[in-house]
Structure 1
Amino acid sequence: MEPKYPIPTVGALVKGPSGRVLIVKTPKWQGLWGVPGGKIEWGEPLEAALQREFREEVGLELIRIRYALLLEGVFDPQFYKPMHFLFINYFAESLAETIEPNEEILEWAWVTPEEALGYPLNNITRTLIERYLQGEA
């Protein structure tokens, strides 16, 4: 049984030491690329949830975390099942670019933000990268 309320999630566009950003491909977005992230646990502060998700999914520690934007996904057809999400997005940095993927990560790439826009991105990630390129990082 699916919840009957919006699910808050955190995610981040992360820049590595090379100046490139990390994008990942997961099965939940039907072959589209996005950024690591996930659901917030009960009692977990937003930035702690973001750090945990990045450690779990790609093995990265984040620094210089800053809020980027809030987006909503209501039954987004790009997601593998109907869900109502609140996407709390951040910009952040990492001192490493070595990825230790978990089972959710099918592929990953460190690319320039401009290169990322050439990938088949989910709409949430496309909006986040466009905001980043507007100089709001």
Structure 2
Amino acid sequence: MSEKMYPEPIVGALVFNQEGKIFLLASPKWQGKYGLPGGHIELDENIEQAIKRELKEETNLAVFDIQFLMTQECIFSEEFYKKKHFIFLDYICKAKNEDVVLDGREGTGHVWVTIDESLKLSLNPYTKNTILEYKNRHLNK
């Protein structure tokens, strides 16, 4: 008998530096496309703690001023390396530092780019949605 699968809640962070540029991670799990750092929420951990922990583990970035942006569903994306159903909880936040150290598993490279520059990169579709949502809410006023 196979184990029953359930949707997985995942936190993601659109991280801004002091110059207003965003941090993107090249992910082998998304065919090398750029995406947001983030990951699973552990038991006995709230969302803000999960964001801080995941970013520290994956990138060495410490973040603050964490604010909710949007929720997305990702159901068996062909671009992801595994058959998964994710519920993405996407947040915006600010970086306390820019001393990036990648963990080697989650990211193979990174960039700090403007919102407009990011939209010219090869992004996974959910990251693109997050960036466009941010742009529509905060920059197109």
Q: TM-score range by the shorter chain?
A: over 0.9
Q: Deviations over 1:55-114 (max 9, x none)?
A: 000001111100000000000111001100000000000122220110121010000011
Tell me which residue corresponds to 2:8: 7
Q: What SS does the corresponding residue of 1:13 show, helix, strand or coil?
A: strand
Q: How does 1:104-123 map to 2 (within 5 A)?
A: 104-123=106-125
1:63–1:2 CA distance, 2 compared to 1 (3 A): farther
Cα-Cα RMSD: 1.4
Identify the range of structure 1 (35-44 vs 106-115) with the bigger mean alpha-carbon deviation.
35-44
**Paired residue type of 1:84:** H
1:136–1:75 CA distance, 2 compared to 1 (3 A): same
Question: Quick one: distance in 1 between partners of 2:129 and 2:120?
Answer: 13
State the aligned residue count.
Answer: 137
Q: How does 1:26-105 map to 2 (within 5 A)?
A: 26-103=27-104, 104-105=106-107
Question: Quick one: distance in 2 between partners of 1:67 and 1:111?
Answer: 21
Question: Quick one: distance in 2 between partners of 1:58 and 1:96?
Answer: 11
> Which ranges of structure 1 fall in alignment gaps of 5 or more residues?
none
**Paired residue type of 2:132:** E
TM-score of the two chains, using structure 1 as the length reference: 0.95
Contact 1:30/1:80, CA 8 A, preserved across alignment = yes
Question: Quick one: distance in 1 between partners of 2:45 and 2:3?
Answer: 22
Off by >3 Å, runs of 4+ in structure 1: none
Q: Deviations over 1:25-65 (max 9, x none)?
A: 11111111101000111121011001000000000111110
TM-score of the two chains, using structure 2 as the length reference: 0.92
